[in-house]
Amino acid sequence: APNGNGRPAGGPVLAKPPVRKLAKDLGVDLAALTGSGPLGSITREDVQRAAAAPAAAEPLTV
């Protein structure tokens, strides 16, 4: 369904295009992030946080 950010169903992950590019450059998988921005959108800070602590972000598996 459409949302407040005007992105249609089947659209990209909820992040502005340059943020998606940043994530790609840093090797961050956006699908694995929970956005902290408006309407749950992923922000630059979310991406940078994920890039800085990849290991810590990994859930522990037993």
Partner 1 sequence: MSEPNDATFDIVILGGGSGGYAAALRAAQLDLSVALIEKGKLGGTCLHNGCIPTKALLHAAEIADQTRESEQFGVKAELVGIDMAAVNSYKDGVISRLYKGLQGLVGGAKKITFVAGAGKLVGKNVVEVDGKRYTGRNVILASGSYAKSLPGLEIDGERIITSDHALTLDRVPSSAIVLGGGVIGVEFASVWKSFGVDVTIVEALPRLVAAEDEESSKALERAFRKRKINFKVGKPFEKVEKTENGVKLTIQGGDTVEAELLLVAVGRGPTTANLGYEEQGVKMDRGYVLTDERLRTSVPNVYAVGDIVPGLQLAHRGFQQGIFVAEEIAGKNPAVIDEAGIPRVTYCDPELASVGLTEAKAKEQYGADKIKTYNYNLGGNGKSQILKTAGHVKLVRVEDGPVVGVHMVGARVGELIGEAQLIYNWEAYPAEVAQLVHAHPTQNEALGEAHLALAGKPLHAHA
Q: Which is nearer to partner 1, 10 or 59 (CB)?
A: 10
Contact 62, 52 (CB under 8 A): no
Q: In whole angstroms, what is the distance from residue 44 CA to residue 18 CA?
A: 9
The DSSP letter of residue 30 is G
Which of 16-24, 28-36, 47-55 is the region at the interface with partner 1 (rule: CB under 8 A)? 16-24
Q: Which is nearer to partner 1, 16 or 49 (CB)?
A: 16
Residues 29-58 that bind partner 1 (CB under 8 A): 44
Sign for the pseudo-dihedral over CA of 15, 32, 51, 49: positive
Contacting positions for partner 1 (CB under 8 A): 2-8, 10-12, 16-18, 20-22, 24-25, 44
